[in-house]
Structure 1
Amino acid sequence: MDALDTHPAEEPRESPLRAEHEALGASFTDFGGWLMPVRYTSDLAEHHAVRQAAGLFDISHMGEILVEGAAAGEFLDHALAGAISAVPVGKAKYTMILAPDGGIVDDLIVYRLQDEVFLVIANAGNRETVARELTHRVAGFDATVEDQSDDYALIALQGPAAERILGAVAGVSDQSPSLDGIRSYAWGSAFFEGEPLLIARTGYTGEDGFELLLPVGRAVALWRAVLAAGEPHGLVPAGLAARDTLRLEAGMPLYGHELSRDIVPAQAGLGRVIPPGKTGFVGAHEPRPDARVLIGLTAEGRRAGRAGYGVHRGDELVGEITSGALSPTLGHPVAMAFVEPSAADATDLTIDIRGTRIPASVAALPFYRRNS
């Protein structure tokens, strides 16, 4: 298998909403080979808006890969870690595509659109890799793989007011089922200004919300319509910085931090993505009992450990932080880290923050859980 793409030096791709972000005063960053808004006003304000009302995210950098055919479900059972053929029409499943040795190539969400049609959502930086791997693995199955990423835009509406806001968006018609009938990891269909709109109750913030997929030509109109509907409810546009602190509080992994080709799912606390007894799929592997495991860490004060900072037990380096920040919601530092198994329950860990050892406590993930 080829190595993951390394994004050679070239101009980053642009979202179809680039001009909208500029008009809203966004600052940008290169993320996964895409030029994306990192913030509009304040990281903290955008984070708190999502926790208290709602935020609107452009996630058009994500990849959309269509898999269809009489053996599409059987093929995805072979190609991915989960039991995809068991997913009912109208539902979605979090899963992974693994390397032959069990390392994580990418984490994915798969939607079953019809009996023989599945939509695979991949991370931006791994889109070409996932499409290439699926195309390679489909040989011998009555199924096809088509990367349709350039044809679609994806917008995420997240927060406790998300359902009220989406219900007020002008231009949405023929929706089925109703929004309150779309449960977590399920989807419904509608039209927006005459174009198909997929409404999925999924997200990456730890809050209730929706991800909205539609043809790229209607992206600007939908973005504006959602912002207009959300103005009375406190909706704000939100960038990657807020998205990162939100997902960290919710204990959600980020590829390149908690997930990589060097990590197998069980190490990251995600062994559940592989159904008990499932064998014969690409990436089936033996356990790695001595491998580092992912834990949560909390600390007091205001100084937060960041990705790459060492985790120590006494004088011994026992791990490394993968993601860390001062939690805007909780008011204290939180982090995820890979540590030696013997340190996973330790009570005497410290984080090396630029030469200063800060005491840290092991904490269960997620750090934050919304009231449902």
Structure 2
Amino acid sequence: MAKSSDLAGLPISPLQRTPLYELYAESKARITPFSGWEMPVQYEGITKEHQAVRQQVGMFDISHMGKFKLKGATVLEQLQYLVPSDLEHLQPGEAQYTVLLNEQAGIIDDLIIYYQGADTAGIQDVMIIANAATTAKDRDWLLSHLDQANLVFEDRSPTQVLLAIQGPEAAPTFQPFVEHDLATVGRFGHFESNVLGKPAFVARTGYTGEDGFEVMLDPGAGIELWRSLLAAGVTPCGLGARDTLRLEAAMALYGQDIDETTTPLEAGLGWLVHLDRNSDFMGRAVLAEQKQFGVARRLVGIRMEGRNIARHGYPILYKQEAIGTVTSGTLSPTLGYAIALAYVPTHLARVDQALEVEIRGKTYPATVTKRPFYKRTM
């Protein structure tokens, strides 16, 4: 690893900006560096933005995320080897949340694979949305493991805007702007249509635990849609609310809750692992062994006593011995108490297990609880 002195005089890589960057100032956003980007952490306040999504509708600029378009006769077949989930069941307009795995079944990234169907010649059309911090890594991994002679791979990450419209009022609010009946689109459904008269890719997906849509379109159309939604009363939201919302829904954050040192079975993502598949896939032997003999640790939900907040990196203790680490933690705006995710030994991963969290040299009581912490009722 290079020392700081070794880096003296080297140019600092500038942070990237999405096409909506200039609009942040109009809504008085507070900007923060995130995964190599200048992104809004909040506009009028994290709690207000959080509650807007839980109770009404909010919108996020997520244009920093990776966007890959793949076309070829065997795209799904090739992707099948790189993920533990069965992609053969996908019908046109359906999608699969899954994880890219390495040979040790470590998670390279979590992503969504959208199958858009095949043309009359049998050429399959697939869209992949990946995390911002892992876009380059994912692209390199995919290109090194896919047969490029038999597919076309297009990285649309730098050319497309991606907006998330989330909340119980997302559908009726977004409907006037899209030439498609949103009532016909189920969860993880997706389609191509015109939004404000411009071509767009729309999916009923999100990272908040609420109903909502993610919309990909050209920069000019994206700016127009943002302004139109703002005029319609949609609350602009930043990364702060996105983090508290996803944590209440117990959705993993790559780089904190999951990474290449964790397997999907350890991370509570066993529902993505389809060992009954006839075909082989990356890391299958490791996962089959873990399935048979169990895992040594599990990612669990933690509820703190009082208002003490367990932050990322804080030690988890049992009988005064450190046995795990907090991966994510916050004070839940919806629930009114502190919640966290943490890896603990499997024998301590049962619900209602009493533990402690060390916060600035002192220990505070915590309890293993069910996930998700919050689940929408409609």
TM-score by length of 2: 0.91
**CA distance in structure 1 between the partners assigned to 2:104 and 2:152 by the alignment:** 25
1:200-221 per-residue CA deviation (whole Å, 9 max, x = no partner) reads 1100000111111112231110
C-alpha contact (below 8 Å) 1:351/1:358 kept by paired residues:
yes
What residue is the counterpart of 2:49 in the other structure? Answer: 46
1:179-210 per-residue CA deviation (whole Å, 9 max, x = no partner) reads 11111010132213442112211000001111
> Which shows bigger deviation, 316-325 or 278-287?
278-287
Does residue 150 (structure 1) correspond to residue 158 (structure 2)? The answer is: yes
Q: CA deviation at 1:305?
A: 0.4
Task: Look up the SS of the partner of 2:311 in the other structure.
Answer: coil
1:286-339 per-residue CA deviation (whole Å, 9 max, x = no partner) reads 244453210001022111100001111111111110001111000011000001
Q: CA deviation at 1:67?
A: 1.3
Paired letter, 2:300: I
What residue is the counterpart of 1:128 in the other structure? Answer: 136
C-alpha contact (below 8 Å) 2:116/2:191 kept by paired residues:
no
Give the alignment of 1:1-372 within 5 angstroms: 9-115=12-118, 116-139=124-147, 142-169=150-177, 172-173=178-179, 175=180, 178-229=181-232, 231=233, 235-278=234-277, 279-286=279-286, 287-288=289-290, 289-345=294-350, 347-372=353-378
What residue is the counterpart of 1:4 in the other structure? Answer: none
**CA distance in structure 1 between the partners assigned to 2:105 and 2:38 by the alignment:** 31
RMSD after superposition = 1.6
Which consecutive segments of 4 or more residues in structure 1 shift more than 6 A? none
**CA distance in structure 2 between the partners assigned to 1:332 and 1:168 by the alignment:** 38
**CA distance in structure 2 between the partners assigned to 1:347 and 1:73 by the alignment:** 42
What residue is the counterpart of 1:5 in the other structure? Answer: none
Q: Which runs of 5+ in 1 are unaligned?
A: 1-7
Aligned residues with identical type, % of pairs: 39
**CA distance in structure 2 between the partners assigned to 1:237 and 1:139 by the alignment:** 41
1:315-368 per-residue CA deviation (whole Å, 9 max, x = no partner) reads 111111000111100001100000111211263311111122111111110000
> Which shows bigger deviation, 76-85 or 262-271?
76-85
**CA distance in structure 2 between the partners assigned to 1:304 and 1:250 by the alignment:** 17
TM-score by length of 1: 0.92
**CA distance in structure 2 between the partners assigned to 1:271 and 1:141 by the alignment:** 33
C-alpha contact (below 8 Å) 1:131/1:145 kept by paired residues:
no
**CA distance in structure 1 between the partners assigned to 2:281 and 2:220 by the alignment:** 38
**CA distance in structure 1 between the partners assigned to 2:225 and 2:261 by the alignment:** 39
**CA distance in structure 1 between the partners assigned to 2:39 and 2:297 by the alignment:** 33
Q: Which runs of 5+ in 2 are unaligned?
A: 1-10, 119-123
**CA distance in structure 2 between the partners assigned to 1:290 and 1:105 by the alignment:** 19
**CA distance in structure 2 between the partners assigned to 1:168 and 1:281 by the alignment:** 43
C-alpha contact (below 8 Å) 1:305/1:333 kept by paired residues:
yes
C-alpha contact (below 8 Å) 1:302/1:332 kept by paired residues:
yes
**CA distance in structure 2 between the partners assigned to 1:290 and 1:24 by the alignment:** 47
**CA distance in structure 2 between the partners assigned to 1:143 and 1:291 by the alignment:** 40
**CA distance in structure 2 between the partners assigned to 1:107 and 1:285 by the alignment:** 20
Task: Look up the SS of the partner of 1:302 in the other structure.
Answer: coil
**CA distance in structure 2 between the partners assigned to 1:167 and 1:210 by the alignment:** 11
C-alpha contact (below 8 Å) 2:354/2:368 kept by paired residues:
no
Paired letter, 2:129: I
Task: Look up the SS of the partner of 1:166 in the other structure.
Answer: helix
Paired letter, 1:359: P
**CA distance in structure 2 between the partners assigned to 1:215 and 1:253 by the alignment:** 29
Q: CA deviation at 1:113?
A: 1.3
Paired letter, 2:144: H
C-alpha contact (below 8 Å) 1:107/1:122 kept by paired residues:
yes
Q: CA deviation at 1:140?
A: 7.4
Task: Look up the SS of the partner of 1:118 in the other structure.
Answer: strand
C-alpha contact (below 8 Å) 2:349/2:368 kept by paired residues:
yes
Q: CA deviation at 1:9?
A: 4.4
